Each structure stands twice: as C-alpha cells, then as structure tokens.
C-alpha cells in the first residue's frame, strides 16, 4: 500500500510510520513543515502527487487546556485541516483513517460508551475533534474514525514519562482517582490501525488497550512495574483545577472491533510492562 501519514513526528505518528515501513508499505510521513493541513490547495496538490491508497491522519491540535483560549487554531487544525484531507482523499479515491478521542464524550456515563452512543463534548478540544469526525463522515465515502484514549508511547511526552520524572524529584505524589478510562500504548494502536486500513470495514472504532483504571491506579502500576518506592495519594479533580473539563468516565466499549471480527488489544498492564522494557 501507498500510505500518507500526517503528524508523522507525533507520539502515534512515529509508531505508525515505522510499523508500516517494517511491513514493506510505501510510506510518506508528513510533518507540519512538509504538509500544512490547514491549506486546502497544499493538501490537494500533495495527495494528487502521491496518490496514496490510505491516509492515516494523526496530526491534531492536542493542547487540551490551551484550546480553551486558542479556539480558532484548534478548529483550524482539527476541523478545517481534517476537512481538507477528507476532500482530497475523496477526490483521489484514498481511504481516510482519522484518529479521534474519548473527549468527544461528556464523561457522564456509568457504563462504557459504544461507537454509536451520542457524543457530547464539553471542551473546545473535544468539540473540535468531534467537528473533524462529522466532516469525515459527511465528506469521505471510505473512512475509518478511530477514537482512542490516554495514549502513551516511546516518542513525545505522556503520563507515564511524567510520573517517572516526578518520581526522581519527589517522594510523595497526589494523582486524581475520580477520572476513569483506559490507557493505550501507541505501538498496539499502530498495529490495530495497520490491520484496519487493510480492509474495507469502514466506520467508527473505539481502540484502547483492554481494562479500566483511574489515573491514580495507572500511576501506582507504573511505579510497581518499575520497582519505585514512592507514596502515591489519591485526590479529586477539584483539587487540581484545569482550564478544560476532563471526562470523569471515558471508558469506551470496543463494539466495532468485536462485530467486525478484529482481535481486541491486550490489557493495558501488559502493554505498560512492554513499554517500560523498551523505554529502558
């Protein structure tokens, strides 16, 4: 396959590029400098030149708190940029895989969200990502929307790396226990994306590692796996006010993975163990 990857220097993008290359696909990894997705003419020209079979759209505005005051830029990237790729993909017959987020839900549920539950994002980041989904669904006839959550990987910053860094500086930490979700290892997510885009099983997918935890439980697991002796105390979201609202409960049911015959991703704890071994 000829594959164009946006956000190729991002946490997920780097894993997608390297995995697809290992599997002998022709990969064009695009950074912001090589493809400005907010420029429609540039998108059409680049996709016309490459004629990819698949576009894996990992590029996004992900600064959740900053988005609250930088609304135009969040929408320019997450909505307009995604529309530009959807239009170009449709023009040249490419499949489009858009990476979305658990933030499209309000977090008020008490059981896992399926792909067909109503979305209700509360912050600018979630709303702009949902706008991207809507545009993909309406402008592309060959699309995959992959919603994921709590992402960690070897590249870039993430919760696991932050916890390990803080453990070097402190003997005691407070971590929120009233936000519940599922961690996702980028290497596992990239594997799923590779399987998915090789098919014509279009639609919306929830893809995270199996299992559920709070951030507090996730932090404790990180230190246990690393053998780090540190006191971790649970606290509430209210004790750590942030500009953007966080979903309290963003566990996603993998209904589409099951009903389309894909193998589900392994438990997050196994993925964490594997990641820490690679991190060294």
- Does 125 qualify as catalytic in the annotation? yes
Rg of the Cα atoms in the chain: 18
CA angle 199, 210, 66 (to 5 degrees): 90
Asked if residue 147 lies in contact with residue 252, where contact means CB atoms within 8 angstroms, the answer is yes
Which tokens sit at 132?
């991207």
Of the residues 61, 125, 185, 205, which is catalytic? 125
Q: 10-13: long-range contacts (C-beta < 8 A, 24 or more apart)?
A: 10/58, 10/59, 10/60, 10/155, 10/156, 11/151, 11/152, 11/153, 11/155, 11/156, 11/157, 11/158, 11/186, 12/58, 12/99, 12/151, 12/153, 12/186, 12/189, 12/190, 13/58, 13/59
CA angle 189, 10, 117 (to 5 degrees): 45
Return the active site residues: 125
């Amino acid at each position: 396959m000829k594959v164009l990857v946006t956000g190729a220097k991002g946490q997920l993008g780097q894993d997608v590029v390297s995995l697809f290359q290992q599997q002998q696909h022709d990969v064009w990894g695009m950074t912001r400098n090589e493809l400005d997705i907010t420029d429609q003419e540039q998108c059409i020209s680049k996709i016309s030149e490459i004629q990819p079979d698949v576009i894996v759209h990992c590029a996004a505005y992900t600064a959740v708190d900053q988005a609250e005051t930088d609304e135009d830029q969040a929408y320019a990237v997450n909505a307009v940029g995604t529309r530009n790729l959807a239009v170009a993909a449709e023009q040249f017959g490419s499949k489009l895989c858009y990476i979305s987020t658990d933030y499209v839900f309000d977090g008020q549920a008490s059981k896992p969200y399926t792909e067909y539950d109503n979305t209700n994002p509360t912050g600018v980041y979630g709303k702009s990502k949902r706008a991207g989904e809507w545009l993909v669904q309406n402008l592309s006839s060959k699309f995959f929307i992959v919603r994921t959550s709590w992402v960690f990987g070897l590249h870039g910053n993430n919760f696991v790396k932050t916890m390990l860094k803080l453990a070097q500086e402190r003997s005691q930490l407070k971590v929120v226990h009233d936000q519940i979700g599922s961690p996702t290892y980028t290497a596992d997510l990239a594997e799923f994306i590779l399987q998915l885009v090789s098919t014509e099983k279009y639609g919306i997918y929830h893809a995270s590692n199996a299992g559920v935890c709070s951030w507090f439980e996730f932090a404790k697991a990180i230190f246990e796996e690393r053998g780090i002796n540190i006191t971790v105390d649970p606290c509430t979201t209210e004790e750590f006010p942030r500009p953007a609202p966080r979903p309290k409960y963003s566990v996603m049911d993998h209904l589409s993975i099951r009903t389309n015959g894909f193998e589900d991703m392994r438990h997050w704890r196994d993925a964490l163990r594997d990641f820490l071994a690679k991190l060294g």
